[in-house]
Amino acid sequence: MSRQVVITGRGVVSPLGIGLAAHWAGALSGRSAITRSSRLVAQGLPVDLAAPVSDAELAPYLNRLPRRQLKLLNRVTRFAMLAASLAVEEAGLGSLPPDPTRFGVFLGTFFTALDPAAFVQLLAASESESQPGSLDLAKANAYCMASINPIDYSLKTMPNLGAGHLAIAHNAQAICRVVSDPPTGGLQAIAQAAWTIREGLADVALAGGAEAPLEELIFMNFCTLDCLARNAEPPGAACAPFDARRCGTVLGEGAGFVVLEELEHARARSARVLGELLGSGVVGGSDSLYGTSDAKGIAERLGRAMARAIERSGTREIDVIFANGDGTRVRDQAETAAVRSLFGDRARKIPLTAPKAMQGHLFSAAGPVELITCLLSLERGIIPPTLNYQEPDPLCDLDYVPNEPRREPELRVAMLNGIGLFGESATLVARRGEV
C-alpha cells in the first residue's frame, strides 16, 4: 500500500498579495491584479497588460532572505525562496528540520532572463566596425572575458540554480529537481514530489513553481503569439475565462510552494494537516503552438489527465474544479468539453472557478498558487469567483461561479487543471485537511 501524502505548509507570492492572508483576501475581493504597464509601453511592446507582484509589497519580505545572497538571486529565485520560506514556516520545519537525506526540492520553472541592460551593452560593444549592424564574434568574446559579470550571464540565467538555492537554504539533500514545462511545470513538480514520497524515496518535500515572465525579452516573445489579451478598458476586464467575449490571457508573475509530507511523519511531529494529495495525471502535448491548437485534441489530452487523477485518487466525488481557464478561446472550450465528457450529466452541477481572471497567468507558478487558493477554499467553504463572466458562450455552458464568491460549506475534494503551450495537460486531486 502506497503512503499517504499530506500538505503541512503553504507559501505564496502572487499579484493578489504576498502570504496566505493577503492572497486570500485578494482572491475574494472581486478585484483584478491586472494593470496597464507603462514599463512595457516604454519598451515599445504592442501589449501593455500584465499582473505584476508589487515591488513595494515585496521589499519588506526580502529581509527573510540571506542578505549576502540577494545579489545572486534573479527575480524568479527571489519569488521561489520567499514562497518556500513561508511554506516551511507554516509547516513548523524551522524549529524541527527533517532528516536532510529524506528531504527533497521540486521546482517548476521555465523562463530564464538576461539582464536587458547588460545584454544591450554586450551588443553595442560587439558591433563590427567594418560591417555596421552585424556581430564581430572576436569583439564579443573579448568583451565577455573582460567586462561580463558572470552573475548576470550564468548564475542568474540557469533554471536549475533556483532549485539549488532552495535545497541549500533548507538543507534538502534527498532530491533536487527542476521541471521546465510551462504552464504545467508547477503542477508536475508537485505530482513528482508526491510520487517520490509515496514510493518511500523521501519523507518531506518542498514543491511548487515560480516565474517572472514580465521581463522584456521574455514578454516580447509572447507578443509574437496570438494569445495575449490587449486593449482592454478597464485593464482588469482583460482576462475573461469562458465568457463569449474572451480574447486571450494576461501574463503575471509569482511563486507558490507547499510542504508535502508522508502522513505518519507529519503525525509524529504533531504537524497540522492542511490537505491531502489524492492523485495526479500528466499527459504530453502535440506539436500545435499555444493559441492555435485544436480544441478537440486538447480536450482529449486534458480528459486523459483528469481521468488518471480520478483513478489514482479513488474518488469521483469532485466538489469544485479550479480550472485552467486562461481566457483563450480554444483552451476554455476544450476544458469545458473535457469536463462534460468525464462527468457526463453531473458536469453542470460541479462549480468551476478560474483564478487567472484575477491574478493573470503565472505559468509554472499558476498551478501551485491555485492549489494554495484551492486549499484555502476547501478549508473555509468559499469558492473564489471567475471575474468578468458576463456573456455566456454556448460552447462553455458549465457553472463558472461568476463574479462573486460562493459559500459552499460542504466542500471536501477539489480538482485542479493546467494546460500547457502545446496542449500538454496536468491535473491534481486534493482533499480538505481532515485525515
Q: How far apart are CA 411 and CA 347, in angstroms?
A: 16
Q: Residue 2's pLDDT is what?
A: 77
The pTM (predicted TM-score) of the whole model is: 0.93
Q: What pLDDT is attached to residue 322?
A: 98
Which residues of the chain form CATH 3.40.47.10?
Answer: 5-113+156-432
Residue-level pLDDT at 231: 82
What is the distance between the alpha carbons of residues 217 and 186, in angstroms, rounded to a whole number?
22
Query: What pLDDT shows up at residue 294?
Result: 81
In the chain, what percentage of residues exceed pLDDT 90? 73
Q: What is the 3-state secondary structure (H, E, C) of the chain?
A: CCCCEEEEEEEEEECCEECHHHHHHHHHCCCCCCEECHHHHHCCCCCCEEECCCHHHHHHHHHHCCHHHHHHCCHHHHHHHHHHHHHHHHHCCCCCCCCHHHEEEEEECCCCCCCHHHHHHHHHHCECCCCCCCECHHHHHHHHHHHCCHHHHHHCCCCHHHHHHHHHHHCCCCCEEEECCCCCHHHHHHHHHHHHHHCCCCCEEEEEEEECCCCHHHHHHHHCCCCECCCCCCHHHCCCCCECCCCCECEECEEEEEEEEEHHHHHHCCCCCCEEEEEEEEECCCCCCCCCCCHHHHHHHHHHHHHHHHHHHCCCCCCEEECCCCCCHHHHHHHHHHHHHHHHHHHHHCEEECCHHHHCECHHHHHHHHHHHHHHHHHHCEECCECCCCCEECCECCECCECCCEECCCCCEEEEEEECCCCCEEEEEEEECCC
Query: What is residue 113's predicted lDDT score, i.e. its pLDDT?
Result: 66
Dihedral angle computed from the Cα positions of residues 353, 20, 75 and 67, in that order, rounded to the nearest 10 degrees: -170
* Model pLDDT for residues 383-415, shown as the tens digit of each residue: 999 999 999 999 999 999 999 999 999 999 999
Dihedrals φ, ψ of 304, to 5°?
A: -70, -40
Is 73 in contact with 128 (CB distance < 8 Å)?
A: no
Choose which CATH entry (3.40.47.10, 1.20.5.50, 3.50.50.60, 3.40.50.10860) describes domain 5-113+156-432. 3.40.47.10
Encode pLDDT of 28-86 as tens digits. Answer: 999 999 999 888 878 888 899 999 999 999 999 999 988 887 877 889 999 999 999 99
What does each of the 435 residues of the chain score in pLDDT, given as a tens digit? 579 999 999 999 999 999 999 999 999 999 999 999 888 878 888 899 999 999 999 999 999 988 887 877 889 999 999 999 999 999 999 878 899 999 999 999 987 766 667 767 777 888 888 888 888 888 888 877 777 766 666 666 777 889 999 999 999 999 999 999 889 999 999 999 999 999 999 999 999 999 999 987 788 888 877 789 988 899 999 999 999 999 999 999 999 999 999 999 999 999 999 999 999 999 998 756 665 668 999 999 999 999 999 999 999 999 999 999 999 999 999 999 999 999 999 999 999 999 999 999 999 999 999 999 999 999 999 999 999 999 999 999 999 999 999 999 999 999 999 999 888 999 999 999 975
What is the structure's pLDDT at 152?
62
pLDDT in the model for residue 70 = 83
